[in-house]
Amino acid sequence: MPVSIVAALQIGSLPGGKDETLAQILAYEEQIQRSGAQLVVMPEALLGGYPKGERFGTQLGYRLPEGREAFARYFANAIDVPGAETDALAGLSARTGASLVLGVIERSGSTLYCTVLYFEPAQGLVAKHRKLMPTGTERLIWGTGDGSTLPVIDAAVGRIGAAVCWENMMPLLRTAMYAKGVQVWCAPTVDEREMWQVSMRHVAHEGRCFVVSACQVQASPQALGLAIDNWPAERPLIAGGSVIIGPMGDVLAGPLVGEAGLLTAQIDTDDLVRARYDYDVVGHYARPDVFELRVDERRKPGVEFIKD
C-alpha cells in the first residue's frame, strides 16, 4: 500500500531507568492507535539511556574508580536482546499494528552496544542494527557493530532501514542502504542541533527517500537536579527536534522542539519514483565503471573457533 502514516515519537529516557522508560513508551499505545501510524520511530538509546555529560571517570592514560561504578550502573540499566523489554515492545507492535524502530543500549557479554531494534506486528522482534561508529567519548562505553547488522526490511509502509545519529553522515553507509532499496529511512538520534535538520534533509534528498528522525527530549540539569560541567544549568540537555522529511528534501512535519509528542505525516511511496526520475543515486546516476563499493556483511566475533 503506497499511502500510509509514519510517526516519530519524541520522548526521553526517564531518571527511574529502563522500567520507568518502558512504561512511558507503552503509555503511548492509545495515541499510536488513534494516529493510524503504521511505523513509529523512537529515539537513540531510549531504553538504557544517553548519559549526556557523564565523564565515566576517564582521563587519558587512566580510569578512576568512580568511573567504573558509573559504568556498572549504566550496564545494569541496559537491556538483553531478546529479553523482557523486547517482549513488551513486541506486544505493543502487535496491539497497535505498527512497525516499531527504536534505539536501545544492548548488553552482550560485558560489552554495550548502541542498537536499533525492529519490530513487526505479526512477528515481533525481526532485526537489529548495532551502531557502526560511536562518536567521540561514546567509544568509551559502546562497542562497534559489524556489517552483519545492516538490515533493510519489508514493512507495511515500504522498505525500512535505520542509521543512528552521526553514522547518518557516513557516505558509504548511506550508499549501502540506498543499494538495499530503503524507502523510509529511520534516524534515531540525540542530536538536537539545527545542523541535524540539514543532515536529515540531505539524506532524504540524496537517497530520494522519506526520512523519519526521532530525537530524545531531556529537561535541563537544573530541573533534573544534576550538576554537569560546561553545560548551562537552565538549558535542556536534549531539546528534541524530531522531523519527517519527503524525498525531495521537503519538511513534512516538525521539527518538534522542547516537548514530548507523537509527530505524524502521511507518505506515498509512489512519490519515490517521481523523485528518482532525474536522480537515482544507485541507479542511473551511479558510475560503477568509476566507483566501486564492497560491503562485508559477515559476522565478526571477537573469537572464532574452527573445527575440522
Note whether residue 147 is domain-resident.
yes
Note whether residue 308 is domain-resident.
no
Note whether residue 294 is domain-resident.
no
* Three state DSSP letters for the chain: CCEEEEEEEECCCCCCCHHHHHHHHHCCHHHHHHHCCCEEECCCCCECCCCCCCCCCEECCEECHHHHHHHHHHHHHCECCCCHHHHHHHHHHHHHCCEEEEEEEEEECCEEEEEEEEEECCCEEEEEEECCCCCHHHHHCCCCCCCCCCCEEEECCEEEEECCHHHHHCHHHHHHHHHCCCCEEEEEECCCCHHHHHHHHHHHHHHCCEEEEEECEECCHHHHCCCCCCCCCCCCCEEEEEEEECCCCCEEEEEEECCCEEEEEEEECHHHHHHCCCCCCCCCCCCCCCCCCCCCCCCCCCCCCCCC
Stated pTM of the model: 0.95
CATH at 99? 3.60.110.10
Q: Which of 18, 44, 128, 192 is catalytic?
A: 44
Domain count, the chain: 1
* Known catalytic membership, residue 186: no
Note whether residue 285 is domain-resident.
no
The confidence score (pLDDT) of residue 308 equals: 79
- 267-283 pLDDT tens trace: 999 999 999 999 999 99
Note whether residue 66 is domain-resident.
yes
- 216-272 pLDDT tens trace: 999 999 998 888 888 999 999 999 999 999 999 999 999 999 999 999 999 999 999
Q: Which of 165, 186, 209, 215 is catalytic?
A: 165
Q: Which of 54, 128, 131, 215 is catalytic?
A: 131
Q: 165 lies in which domain range?
A: 3-275
* Known catalytic membership, residue 206: no
pLDDT over 80 (residue 1): no
Mean pLDDT of the 55-80 span: 94
* Known catalytic membership, residue 44: yes
Note whether residue 301 is domain-resident.
no
Note whether residue 242 is domain-resident.
yes
Note whether residue 302 is domain-resident.
no
